[in-house]
Amino acid sequence: MPRIVGISLLFTVLAAITATLFAWFMRKEELGQRIRDYGPQLHEKKSGTPTMGGMVIIVLWGIAIGIFHNDISRDTLFIFSSALLFGGIGLLDDLLSQIHKRSLGLLARQKILLSLFVTLILFFSFPSLSRIAILIPFSLATFILPRAAFFFLLCGVFLSTTNSMNLTDGLDGLATGTSIIVLVAYVMLFHDHVTLATILPLIGILIGFLWVNTYPARLFLGDVGSFALGAVIGALALTTGTSLSLPLLAGLLVAESASVIVQVTYFRLTGRRIFKISPFHHHFEAAEGIGYKYLLPNIEWAEPKIVTRLWIAQVILAGIGILSIYR
């Protein structure tokens, strides 16, 4: 345990230094974030901020896992493979965005098809995962899905977590901090040696990454980072049998996705909006050029305040999630 903590702290420092150097290189090469045209003026000042910082996280985490090679288990391989494969989808999206010099890389349907293909690879590569008992929240009961049904669970979990994390990654540090909170919750629930050797170094790396990712961010996660982190959380839920408690443990991700679904559905039905802008974290920002009405009261907080308060909300939700599993 002390060795794991010590190495995790070392990687915290390494992540801060590496991310700083990576941000400098990306800015030097003029490889920055392309800001999507929302209509209202919101984040234009962030255009050009270095992106694809998730590559730093994945590479350093891979090195850390290599250091603990004696503790590599099936679950560790599944979690890291999930991050690597889904991170690859995000990297392709980021690269296409840079090549075409626009915010849009892969089309939504292309991301979904690639995600389903990756899920299929993981499903056949780790067949024993389907035999893991799934916990029913707030009870002692468990059940095991038939293998065919488990594939659909796999698809649902990964599509939800990766895309939800991608939506959450809209404010400086929000997705990174949320990931740390969820991972800490899993460490509190499952603190065996192998889990600690897998997850504690990643937590340390993410804390170091926050050094450059907090407001005003000097480096963004990029889709490579948000997809990889979403996959890590989804994989953790699958390997620990906590898929049904995941909506609580990662409650902020659910709220972000739900806000987009509700906004789009309500607009199509009524021609009106509920939020100023969705995902809902944008509703709390000051935005210029709003020429339409929306149902919720206008709120304008500074970005660091929004991020901090949403982190607090995620801590509360993760705490409820822990209670739903703790025995």
Give the 3-state secondary structure of residue 179.
helix
Predicted local confidence at residue 243, as pLDDT: 96
First to last CA, the chain: 23
- As to burial, measured by CB atoms within 10 angstroms (0-12 exposed, 13-18 middle, 19+ buried), residue 166 is buried
Q: Which residues of 233-247 are buried (b: 16+ CB within 10 A; e: fewer)?
A: bbbbbbbbbbbbbbb
Q: What is the C-alpha separation between 313 and 178, in angstroms, rounded?
A: 10
- The structure tokens 């944008």 sit at 282
Q: What is the pLDDT of residue 93?
A: 93
Number of H helices, E strands in the chain: 11, 2
The beta strands (E) that lie in the chain are given as 134-135, 142-143
- Name the residue among 97, 107, 46, 38 with its Cα closest to residue 282: 38
Where exactly are the structural domains of the chain? Answer: 2-265+300-325
**pLDDT value, residue 105:** 79
Q: Which residue has the tokens 């040696």?
A: 193
Q: What's residue 119's pLDDT?
A: 97
Please list, in sequence order, all residues whose beta carbon lies within 8 angstroms of the beta carbon of residue 148, skipping any fewer than 6 positions away: none
Q: Are 212 and 219 in contact (CB under 8 A)?
A: yes
CA gap 160, 260 in Å, rounded: 13
The pLDDT of residue 41: 61
**Cβ–Cβ under 8 Å, residues 322 and 185:** yes
Report the C-alpha gap between 324 and 2 in whole angstroms: 29
Q: Please give the chain's pLDDT, 327 residues, in tens.
A: 788 999 999 999 999 999 999 999 998 877 766 666 555 566 667 777 899 999 999 999 999 999 987 778 899 999 999 999 999 999 999 999 888 777 777 888 999 999 999 999 999 999 999 999 999 999 989 999 999 999 999 999 999 999 999 999 989 999 999 999 999 999 999 988 888 999 999 999 999 999 999 999 999 999 999 999 999 999 999 999 999 999 999 999 999 999 999 999 999 999 999 999 999 999 999 887 788 889 999 999 999 999 999 999 999 999 999 999 976
CA 160 to centroid of chain Cα atoms: 10
Closest CA to 114 of 147, 88, 79: 88
Q: Could you tell me which of 172, 162, 178 has the C-alpha nearest to residue 317?
A: 178
Instruction: Match 């990576």 to its residue by tokens.
Output: 22
58-to-90, 141, 215, 314 alpha-carbon distances in Å:
12, 35, 22, 24
Q: Which two tokens stand for residue 155?
A: 């698809």
pLDDT of residue 251: 96
Give pLDDT, residue 286: 86
Q: What is the pLDDT of residue 70?
A: 78
pLDDT of residue 179: 98
Backbone CA torsion sign across 316, 321, 324, 327:
negative
